[in-house]
Chains A and B, each alone.
Chain A
Amino acid sequence: MAQRIGNYTIKLDKQPSVLGYAAVVGKKEGQGPLGRNFDMVYEDTLIGQKSWEKAESVLQREAVKKALEKAGCQPSDMDGIIAGDLLNQCISSTFGLEPFDIPFLGVYGACSTMAESLLVGSMMIDSGAANKCVCVTSSHFASSERQFRFPLEYGGQRPPTAQWTVTGSGSVILGSSGSDICITEMSVGKIVDAGIKDANNMGAAMAKSAAVTLLNYFSDTGYDPKQFDMIATGDLGFVGSQILIELLSREGINLGDKYTDCGLLIFDRDKQGVDSGGSGCGCSASVLCAYILNGLKEGKLKDVLFIATGALMSPTSVQQGESIPGVAHLIRFNKISN
């Protein structure tokens, strides 16, 4: 059974294994610095579908298919699938995953959903409720734009703090054994409202929640950030990352050069016109499943903290003038040497 360390950290007893993983993305992401790492890059952002929502469903479906293939598993081997996305009522997940015929749990944590699904999946494996399960999430630039902002062809200007929703999906197959990449510890984040009201500055809205989660984790475990090979936040972008570094340094914690952000890794900010960086559920999910897990597999990384961050707002709350609370969940991945 899992153990609690301190106030917020969960130490997993069974240490769920990452049996397989895959990331599929759109054209812009494929042209970015991580282009070669993705399992599939779709040149057509509609993926031959009649709506952006259906295109996003295909992203999730293909990510799961590829991950199952790489794990050498069939959908019928899975005891559960834990998924979510940014669209109202999580329709990318439900419409995309229906053909697999796997027991489904929908989760919503905005852009932190990948970590949330891994948290739930790991607890299912650890408790014995599942032997194998799938964790998946996605986002699509066009489906997010139309739901949260403007029609795609609307001619508006983006402020430099804005972030670019990633078109992509990442999927992880977890099992009770069978791989040397394991999830060893986790921390469920709290809802933190820093009072930011600008929907064009999500990084700032989420940075405090990431700082709180990391601070709690380090205080629970007594670890030093230096001992990790990588500390990666989900989608804080340039602005959010800088705020996080500053907030933690005020608390006496220096994240050092091992710190990075998935929103900064996926795009080239200077050349791709994404302003503060990438965002969306698909941002942290696709970078995790294309870059971070590959690093662990190849042995370049052995101990990684993955902190997916989410902005818990809706178009309604923003229009009503409410501030944007954030949440950040932490997952520790280890490469176990035999």
Chain B
Amino acid sequence: MNISNKEYDELNKKISPPSHMFRNMCFAFLIGGLICTIGQLLYRLYVYWGLGVSDARSVVSVTLIFIAGLLTGIGVFDKIAKYAGAGTIVPITGFANAIVSPAIEFKCEGWVMGVGAKLFALAGPVIVYGISSSVIYGVILWLFTL
């Protein structure tokens, strides 16, 4: 069969249906925005209840992480994320899901080699590159303030 890989890929691209970019972006904007609005409402509520600004921010994160963890545990998070995409991945909810989902999945392999070893399988790269980029950012900031 005489078809080069390049021709084959062109045929594949012609036949493969494209991702629903516009629909995905709309859902990501709406659901991501909704999560952030809930965060802001919680923040206002915690401040209203008498928490300091800094504490209220931390408790908002804790609350959102808890909700995302709970929704992952009862099998609802992935159903929302199927439509929300980046809308649920980008906020702190995505990080919570990336920790809780392997914890549930790899429980069968035990607490050490399963949960312990695989807990950061998805979130690990986020931590590695998050910390690395913050170090670089810190060095740049330090250079500018010399």
Residues of chain A having any CB pair with chain B under 8 Å: 50-53, 146, 150-161, 194-196, 201, 204, 208, 211-212, 215, 238-239, 242-243, 246-247, 250-251, 273
Give the interface segment out of B39-47, B53-61, B76-84, B137-145.
B76-84
Is B3 located at the chain interface by the 8 A CB criterion?
A: yes
Residue of A nearest to B82 (CB): A157
Residue of B nearest to A205 (CB): B12
Residues of chain B having any CB pair with chain A under 8 Å: 1, 3, 5, 8-9, 11-12, 15-20, 24, 72-73, 75, 77-78, 80-82, 84-85, 88-89, 94, 97-98, 100-102, 104-106, 108, 122
Q: CB within 8 A of B1: which of A155, A196, A204, A208?
A: A208
Q: Is the interface of B mostly helix, strand, loop or mixed?
A: helix
The answer to whether B81 touches A156, judged by C-beta atoms less than 8 angstroms apart, is yes
Known contacts A151-B105, A152-B105, A156-B89; 15 additional CB pairs below 8 A are A146-B106, A150-B101, A152-B101, A155-B88, A155-B89, A157-B24, A157-B85, A159-B19, A195-B9, A196-B8, A196-B9, A239-B17, A243-B11, A251-B1, A273-B82
Distance to closest chain B CB from A337 (angstroms)? 36
Q: How far is the CA of A105 from the CA of B48 in the complex (A)?
A: 69
Q: How far is the CA of A271 from the CA of B9 in the complex (A)?
A: 29
Residue of B nearest to A145 (CB): B105
Distance to closest chain A CB from B73 (angstroms)? 8
The answer to whether A243 touches B15, judged by C-beta atoms less than 8 angstroms apart, is yes
Distance to closest chain A CB from B105 (angstroms)? 3
Interchain pairs with CB closer than 8 A, number: 98
Q: How far is the CA of A294 from the CA of B105 in the complex (A)?
A: 37
Q: How far is the CA of A215 from the CA of B11 in the complex (A)?
A: 18
Q: Is the interface of A mostly helix, strand, loop or mixed?
A: loop
Q: List 15 A-B contacts (CB under 8 A).
A: A53-B108, A150-B101, A154-B97, A154-B101, A155-B72, A155-B77, A155-B78, A155-B84, A155-B101, A160-B18, A194-B5, A195-B8, A208-B1, A246-B15, A247-B3
Q: CB within 8 A of A194: which of B8, B73, B82?
A: B8
- Report if A154-B98 is in contact (Cβ < 8 Å); known contacts: A51-B108, A195-B5, A195-B8: yes
- Report if A153-B78 is in contact (Cβ < 8 Å); known contacts: A51-B108, A160-B20, A196-B9: yes
The answer to whether B82 touches A161, judged by C-beta atoms less than 8 angstroms apart, is no
Residue of A nearest to B24 (CB): A157
- Report if A152-B17 is in contact (Cβ < 8 Å); known contacts: A212-B1, A247-B3: no
- Report if A154-B78 is in contact (Cβ < 8 Å); known contacts: A194-B5, A195-B9, A246-B11: yes
